[in-house]
Each structure stands twice: as structure tokens, then as C-alpha cells.
Structure 1
Amino acid sequence: MKTALVTGATGAIGTEICRMLAEQGYFLYIHFHKNDEKAKKLQKDLFHSFHVKSVIIHADLSKEDGPKKLLNKLTKNVDVFIYNCGNTQYGLLTDFTNESIRETMQLHLLSAIEITKTLSKSMIQQKSGKIIMISSVWGEVGAACETVYSAAKGGLNTFVKALAKELAPSGINVNSIAPGVIETPMLDQFSEEEKDELASDIPAGRFGQPQEVAHAAEYLISEKSAYISGHILSVNGSWFT
């Protein structure tokens, strides 16, 4: 039985990715930060629906010691690693504190690098592995009032491209998924009028669904994508091409 680690598993996208992996029979490490009850419910649902076992891990990956706390809970080698942590803060760069900048970079970039550094060691030994970073469209084109988030996601994409070259000789695929606007609770801060206006800006005429990001991840962990590595897969309805 293969093992997968999904960070940010209790979010809308993370939950759908966990369901996809459970359906394929993976043993799961379910990481969360804030929602203990949701993590327990997800674990229960996955067992009842797919009869797979999982372990819940709590760690705040916006803190410097977060990666170590997560890694210390792992007892199995990880075959599939999906880094799906994230939140965003809106505002002018001049309004951000240095602490919030450091935490954003830690959560979206540094923790991903630190965890990957450790997990890749066993992958190299076994000459196989799948690593996927959930990035953002803003990591490709940047967004005003989300400058630090954009910088972190852009760094994550470049990390993927560089690491893919480094790990390819060991049979390990490293890719990124860059979602556009996805229908998640993060959109609740916008009014219906604002959401309609945003959707009209997208050529596909709608927001993406969390399942569609999970479908992209499903392809990237499959053998059908064995020759794809170092790729940033956009899931954005042709919003930015």
C-alpha cells in the first residue's frame, strides 16, 4: 500500500485531493492547522467510504518549527507528497508587517522546501515518488494587493522547475498545479455582485471546482504523466494563458 501526505487537508481542495487518494487505496497522512473537528470528520468519512486508514497531523506551517513538528509524526515513507497549504492576505505592501511577510513566506514556500528536502531522501532511495505543489495563478502573473503571496507562489513554481531537474534521474516527478478562482469558502468575503463580476472576467464563464484541482492532481500522480515533470499545470478556465 502506497502512502500519501496532504497538507492543508481540511480545506476544500485538500479534502477533494484526500478523497481522490483514498479512492485509490492510499494510506493517508492528513495534515491540518486550525480545524481539529473537520480533520476528524474527514478521517472518519474516508474510512467509511473507502476503507482506508489515515493519521491526522497537526502543525502550524507558518511557523519556523512547523515542518519539524509535522515530519516527527511520520512513521512511513511517503510515496506521494502534495503541499496544499495556503491563505491569502489582501492589502498594499506598505501595510504588511515584517512578521506577516515572514509567516506568508514560511507557509507558502519555506515549509514546502523543508518538508520536501526530508521526504525526497526516501524517494531517492526507492527511485520513485510524486511531488505536487498547489500554487496559484498569481504565482505566474502576480497580483496587486497580494504581492507577498504572489512572490511566495512564484518562488514555489521556480522551486518545482529546479527540483524536477535534480530529481528526474531518480525517477521522481515534481510538478505544480496553479489554480485560478476556485469555489471555496475563501470567496465568502466577496458579495454576490463582486463574484458575478469576477466570473464574467473568466473566459470559461465560471469558477473552478475543488474536484477539478483534484482531477489534475490525480493525473500528475498517475503513470500516465510519467514523462511530465517540472510543469506548472494551470487550472483557471483560460483566465490567464
Structure 2
Amino acid sequence: MFKWYRDSQVCIAYLADSTPIDDLGHDKQNAARMNALSWATRIPLDDLCYFRPGTRDVHEKMMWASTRTTTRIEDIAYCLIGIFDVSMTIAYGEGKRAFYRLMEAIIHRCGEWQIMAWAGQPSADSAALPESPRCFRQLASHPDSSTGSGECEQKAWRGDRNYVITKRGLQLRLILECTRYGQCTVGVVDYWCYNTSGEGVLKPSQDHLCLLLRMDPFDPFAEWQKVQTADLLTVSTDVEVKEALTTVWL
């Protein structure tokens, strides 16, 4: 509906007792209402006033919706269609698959590594994707890849920006590090990249988001599988580490 009205040549709406959005902060009563709305929705006040729909800052927007409840299971996905400015059919009766389809639509247009910052119950359609917005967890602050002291630092980015859902599962590139637990491996998500050479860098004194992965050693055709965890997992290193990237399908 948002697109319908946004793209119309003429759109007329009658808003009784409305106040121009620029004046909301200058009226105490309206300011109180906006603060109450911000508190209820968990959306920062600035984002309420100057919100732009789209697939940027997906993790932050999912955190806004992480405590949202709906009468119908499907509506937890359908109510986010406008926020992310994606298109998907409405099909009541599909249950939790609606959120999986929403994630599919978002991933088709998004390249942010923070979308992997979730824990808890996975989707029944893919162990690599969350069941609902409630699975998203708060991230510690990370240095932005666009800032730095040197020219090389400014050209860096973090994580795989070209992950995609395929018939084999969610395809993405990770730094794989073996653990002491044998069958389990850690896949680092937000490594630093400085070029397209196929290598990632882990910087010292930084927490790096990672996935716990497992593979059946007795199955020659086995793929990596994401292991369910209750909280986010991070790793850190005392020295700079440069490792080759591995493509996995989850």
C-alpha cells in the first residue's frame, strides 16, 4: 500500500487535527506523543521523523521488531514489508514460512553482514535463517569499514557482500577456523577485506561475529550445517590474522 500511494500522481489524504512533521518537536503535547510512540515501537525518534524504507540497516530494523507481537503468525512478516520496501504475496495459512520468504526478499537486495547476527530457533525452511525477528540479538559496536587512518583502510569492507540463497542453501564466504571440539568449526562472518584476492583479515582486539558449524565426517557428500546457539558467538585474536576465504552452503 505504501508503494501504491507513494507512486501515485495525485494522493489526497485528510488528516484531522494533524501537525506538520517539522513542528512535532516544538509542541510539548506532540513531542510527548512522539516519545511515547518511539518507546512503544523501539524505533529511535530521529528514525520515526526521517524514516526511509529499504534494505539498509536490516539488523537495526529487525531489532525494532524483535518484541513485536501479532494476532496472526504471518503478520510478523507482512507488517515489515513496507519497512524494508520489498514485495511479496500475502498468503494467510503459510504460518512461519512467511518470515522465511521475507528474509529471502531482503537477502536478494541486501549485502550487510549484520543480517547474520541472530541466535536461537532457526527457520524450518533453512537452518541458516532465523524463525522470527525475536532471534536477532544486539551487536557490540563495530568500527565502520568506511573509516580509518589510511587509504587502504578506507577502501576496506567487512564480510561477504554477495551472499545469496541457492538451491543448496545460503551461500556465503567465511574464514573457517577449526575448534578443539573436533567436528565443529567456527566460521567468521565479519572479517575485513581489502581486495578481491580471496583472503580475509581478523584484526587484533576486535570481536568478530562467527557461526558455529558442523559437518558429518562419515558422509562424503555432507555440507556444513549451522549449529543452533542461544546467543551470538564472537572470536578475537591478539595478532592480525590473514586467512583464505571458503565458500559454504548452509
Q: Normalising by structure 1, report the TM-score.
A: 0.29
- Structure having the higher Rg: 2
Richer in helix (by share):
1
Q: Normalising by structure 2, report the TM-score.
A: 0.28
